[in-house]
Amino acid sequence: MLLWVSVAAAQDVGAPTLAAYMDAAVLNNPRTVIAGAAVDTARADAAEAGSFLLPDLRASGNYTRNQYEALAVYPDPGGGPPTEIVLNPRNQLSASVTATIPLLDGPAIATWQAARDGTDAAEYDEVAAANDLRLDVARAWYVAVAAQEVVVAAQRARAAADENLRMVRIRAEAGAATNLSVQRAELEVANAEQLMIDGERVRLVSLRTLATLSGLPEPEALPVVAAAMPAQVSEEEALRIAESARPELAAAQTRVDQLKLVRSGAWLGYTPTLSGFATEQYTNASGFSGEEAFWTVGLQADWLLLDFGDRGADVRRARAALASAEATLQETQDRVRDEVHAAWLDVEAAKASVEAARRGATVSREAAREFTARFQLGMSTQFDVIQADRDALDAEVARIRAEGELAIAVLALQRATGQPVTP
């Protein structure tokens, strides 16, 4: 897939991997739990809205103790004994089962369709939250890797500064160097120590952030892999991919569709609803029919002809919510375009920075070695050696940071274009 660029190589078996920490964060981080809960809530809302369009079955029963028994006595025209009809027995029993079937309910249909769109929007939000979280994990990872490399570079610089200090002290004892030269050498040792301390602090903070985001233990060390140069892609192509794949855009558009249905449902509140019903009843007070069990079926229409503002308020609220959603969609479209533009520029700048930093680090290392050799032969000054070592260290730190920034920029472009953030 376009822009799906690997920024890490194969790791040793058992070594921590960025992909493992990303996957763990998606499973364990509270942000994804919250997003997943929102999806579950939206699905429950859709199921509830859909249930109002399905048949409803209810059963009821009651027992009544009447103080007096009510009878109706009819004489027999043939002169026989009269007929007694029990209207209300002393102990009266009744039971019924009623099925109600919605036949025409515009507001309920619109509400159900809107709830389904709400579920889709929540699912898009969940994808966006996972991508944001994976990018946060990647940032913590590469900052920790860069800090780890800076510490190693500072350790090398400290070793070189210690050796330089040793040589300067020997020369000072022989009268070939001044105390100022010794102090300069000691300062370079202190500078290297300070860089080590700062790098170690950043490394530990980043490892803690990595563990907090993922829920995994803090790793002791991370594998160091040089960043790979990403494939060339135009900004226009990156924007085209984002417009079709970015989950935030899909969520915003779906919410506009949802609120259009809500507005329709508000207008449909002015229309009648129609339902059918069927009831099976049992009673021991059979009355004049003489039947203890009987059924009834029918249709029921409900139409609210006059209210004092309830439905009008629903319509106005629906219009306002739709206008807000449409503005949010426009704002999201603008933000996505800006993020793609910035992410694409970051990748291009990071690529150039890495190439320049690699060249600078190589040249600076060679210059430092040459000045050290010349100093040992008495052909250069201590200041030249100190400056060359300092330049070499600065160039190495710049290379380390440039490679980390390139790796992060590539993943940020994946996120900006709506692709899964994957190393």
Question: What domains sit in the chain, N to C, each tagged with a CATH number?
Answer: 18-53+105-269+304-416 (1.20.1600.10)
How large a percentage of the chain has pLDDT more than 90? 65
The pLDDT tens digits for 345-362 are 999 999 999 999 999 999
Per-residue pLDDT at 225 exceeds 90:
no
DSSP β-bridge partners for residue 91: 65
Confidence at residue 247, expressed as pLDDT on a 0 to 100 scale: 97
Cα separations in angstroms, 183 against 157, 190, 376, 377, 403: 17, 10, 19, 21, 35
Nearest 10 degrees: CA dihedral of 413, 142, 394, 179?
Answer: 160
Q: Give which of 128, 125, 132 is closest to 40, Cα–Cα.
A: 125
Looking at per-residue pLDDT, the higher value among 96 and 164 belongs to 96
pLDDT of residue 286: 77
The three-class DSSP label of residue 270 is coil
Kindly state the average pLDDT of the residues 207-234: 87
State mean pLDDT over 212-234: 85
Does the pLDDT at position 397 exceed 60? Answer: yes
Does pLDDT of 1 surpass 90? Answer: no
What does the alpha-carbon distance between residue 261 and residue 112 come to, in Å, rounded to a whole number?
9
CA distance 40 to 283: 44
pLDDT at residue 12, rounded to an integer: 43
**14 — pLDDT class (breaks 50, 70, 90):** low
Task: Report the alpha-carbon distance of residue 353 to residue 253 in Å, rounded.
Answer: 38
Q: Contact 300/152 with Cβ under 8 angstroms?
A: no
Work out the average pLDDT over 287-303.
88
CA dist 288 and 37 (Å) reads 58
Choose between 68 and 416: higher pLDDT: 416
Distance of alpha carbon 255 from alpha carbon 328, whole angstroms: 9
Measured CA to CA, the distance from residue 32 to residue 44 in angstroms comes to: 18
Strand ranges inside 182-318, DSSP E: 273-283, 293-302
The pLDDT tens digits of the residues spanning 109-166 come to 999 999 999 999 999 999 999 999 999 999 999 999 999 999 998 998 888 888 888 8
Could you tell me what percent of the chain has a pLDDT over 70? 96
Q: What is the pTM of this model?
A: 0.84
Q: Tell me: pLDDT of 4 over 50.
A: no
Q: Does position 69 have pLDDT exceeding 60, yes or no?
A: yes
| Tokens read off for 417 | 């274009």
- Average model confidence (pLDDT) across the chain: 89
Q: Is residue 275 a contact partner of residue 299, using CB atoms and an 8 Å limit?
A: yes
Specify the residue for token string 């009744």.
94
Report pLDDT for 241.
95
pLDDT category at 295 given cuts 50, 70, 90 is very high
Residue 253 has pLDDT above 90, yes or no: yes
Cβ distance 106 to 281 under 8 Å? no
pLDDT for 138 equals 94
What distance in Å separates the CA atoms of residue 304 and residue 311, rounded to the nearest whole number?
Answer: 10
Query: Is the pLDDT confidence value at 35 over 90?
Result: yes
| pLDDT the model gives residue 3 | 40
Neighbours of 366 (CB within 10 A): 12
Residue 302 confidence (pLDDT) above 90: yes
